[in-house]
């Protein structure tokens, strides 16, 4: 029997995987056989970054970003490999970063994203020695000098972003710092210890089908952040999982839906002890953190939330809430009084469309997992 044409072969793979990855970009992301262009199936004008492939346009992700014009949508395909760099995105126009995928493992579920994803962008900076928290981030998305807003639509697919400086004894070492921008992430991993993820002033962020590793306040910020179907992997239990600054009259806050909170599989179990991790603590008196239909293992403290300073009280002006929590850490009987246990009807107020006051066009609604 004659072999199937390569185009038909890759099309058949695309149809088998389209329900678990991006139908818009999967044919671009899949690695191609020797002799076929890595950019086969990619949108016209896509740039190719690779640290090993001599046919690539660039060897550095930042170099590719710096080459882009200021206007028009841009797509960058990143080949398999380790990229030791900081990525700083100040471009206002839409930008998509695509991590290359192996056709044999592309459909691996988010619980094994580290095995699925072939692209690792990392650095090893931490706060101190003249560096602020934000300056340690592996990925920075925000406006350039002279502009009031950064990217209106930044997307990243199937990339692991890692800050390798950190461990349980090192202070702040960020993976993301996103301010005054719209950013969304699909099938990614974010790995650090303290302050892994930052959604800052004026930022709107959406993360799905991803893993976030951290120890202390590892989801923190003051913008609007939605985490959908993610795994939050506790590497330790300092502070809270979330630490937020709210603002009265806004929906600024952190929202975690249909997700899983668990001890990280890569940590010494004597560090993450049973019943020690708080869901959150207030970075200011108007902090907002809402957990919707989220599984919680027994690493969650029975009281759920705690004050910023040890021994203090959680301000009554905070808004902490849960709906449909389940698992060993989801018993709400001993939660602090400031934790609102929502009814099904009340939970409708905290749907994505209500939080962002629309179904944002910068979110890839076709991505399924």
Give the DSSP letter string of 18-36. TTTS-TTTHHHHBPPPTTS
Q: Is 95 helix (H, G, I), strand (E, B) or coil?
A: strand
Please write the tens of the pLDDT for every residue from 299-356: 999 999 999 987 789 999 999 999 999 999 999 999 999 999 999 999 999 999 999 9
Q: If DSSP states are collapsed to H, E and C, what string results for 115-141?
A: HHCCEEEEECCCCECCECCHHHCCEEE
Percent residues over pLDDT 90 in the chain: 76
Per-residue confidence (pLDDT) for residue 3, from 0 to 100: 39
**CATH number of the domain within which 200 lies:** 2.160.20.10
Say whether both 259 and 282 belong to one domain. yes
Mean pLDDT over 126-149 rounds to 89
211-214: strand order across its sheet: 81-84, 119-123, 160-163, 189-191, 211-214, 231-234, 260-263, 295-296
Q: Do 199 and 223 reside in the same domain of the chain?
A: no
Q: Are residues 176 and 220 both part of a single domain?
A: no
Eight-state DSSP code of residue 110: G
Last residue of a domain, one of 145, 176, 204: 204
pLDDT tier at 22, thresholds 50, 70, 90: confident
3-class SS of residue 209: coil
230 and 326 co-located in one domain: yes
Residue-number span of the structural domain to which 177 is assigned: 45-204
Number of domains in the chain: 2
Whether residue 156 is found in the same domain as residue 264: no
310 assigned to some structural domain: yes
- 198 and 242, same domain (yes or no): no
Cα(202)–Cα(313) distance, integer angstroms: 28
Instruction: Tell me what percent of the residues of the chain surpass a pLDDT of 70.
Output: 89
Same domain, residue pair 237 and 286: yes
Residue 226: what pLDDT? 98
Query: Average pLDDT, whole number, for the chain?
Result: 89
Q: Is the model more confident about 246 or about 22?
A: 246
Together in a domain, 232 and 356? yes
Which CA distances in Å does 49 have to 46, 78, 79, 91, 213? 10, 5, 6, 18, 26
DSSP classification of residue 326: B
In a domain, 152, yes or no: yes
pLDDT digits (tens, 9 = 90+) for 206-248: 999 999 999 999 999 999 999 999 999 999 888 899 999 999 9
Structural domain includes residue 186: yes
Q: Is residue 180 part of a domain?
A: yes
CA atoms within 13 A on the CB side of 166: 31
Distance CA 240, CA 307 (A): 9
């Amino acid at each position: 029997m004659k072999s199937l044409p390569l185009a038909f072969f890759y099309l058949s793979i695309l149809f088998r995987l389209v329900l678990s990855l991006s139908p818009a970009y999967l044919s671009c992301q899949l690695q191609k056989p020797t002799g076929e262009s890595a950019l086969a199936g990619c949108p016209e004008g896509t740039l190719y970054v690779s640290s090993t492939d001599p046919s690539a346009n660039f060897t550095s992700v930042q170099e590719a970003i710096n080459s882009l014009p200021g206007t028009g949508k841009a797509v960058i395909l990143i080949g398999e490999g380790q990229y030791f760099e900081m990525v700083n995105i100040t471009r206002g126009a839409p930008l998509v970063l695509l991590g290359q995928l192996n056709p044999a493992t592309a459909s691996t579920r988010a619980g094994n994203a580290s095995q699925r994803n072939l692209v690792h962008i990392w650095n090893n900076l931490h706060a101190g020695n003249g560096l602020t928290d934000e300056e340690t981030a592996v990925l920075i998305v925000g406006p350039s000098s002279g502009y009031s807003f950064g990217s209106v639509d930044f997307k990243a697919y199937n990339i692991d972003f890692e800050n390798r400086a950190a461990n349980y004894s090192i202070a702040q070492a960020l993976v993301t710092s996103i301010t005054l921008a719209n950013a969304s992430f699909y099938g990614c991993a974010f790995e650090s210890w303290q302050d892994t993820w930052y959604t800052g002033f004026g930022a709107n962020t959406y993360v799905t089908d991803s893993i976030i590793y951290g120890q202390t306040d590892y989801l923190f910020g003051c913008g609007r952040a939605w985490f959908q179907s993610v795994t939050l992997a506790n590497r330790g239990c300092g502070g809270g999982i979330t630490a937020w600054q709210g603002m009265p009259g806004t929906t600024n806050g952190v929202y975690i839906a249909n997700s899983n909170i668990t001890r990280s599989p890569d940590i010494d179990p004597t560090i993450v002890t049973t019943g020690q991790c708080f869901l959150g603590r207030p970075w200011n008196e108007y902090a907002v953190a809402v957990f919707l239909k989220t599984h919680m293992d027994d690493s969650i403290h029975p009281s759920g939330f705690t004050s910023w300073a040890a021994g203090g009280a959680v301000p009554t002006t905070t808004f902490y809430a849960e709906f449909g929590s389940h698992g060993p850490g989801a018993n709400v009987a001993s939660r602090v009084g400031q934790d609102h246990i929502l009814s099904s009807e009340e939970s409708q107020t905290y749907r994505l469309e209500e939080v962002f006051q629309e179904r944002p066009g910068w979110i890839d609604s076709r991505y399924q997992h």
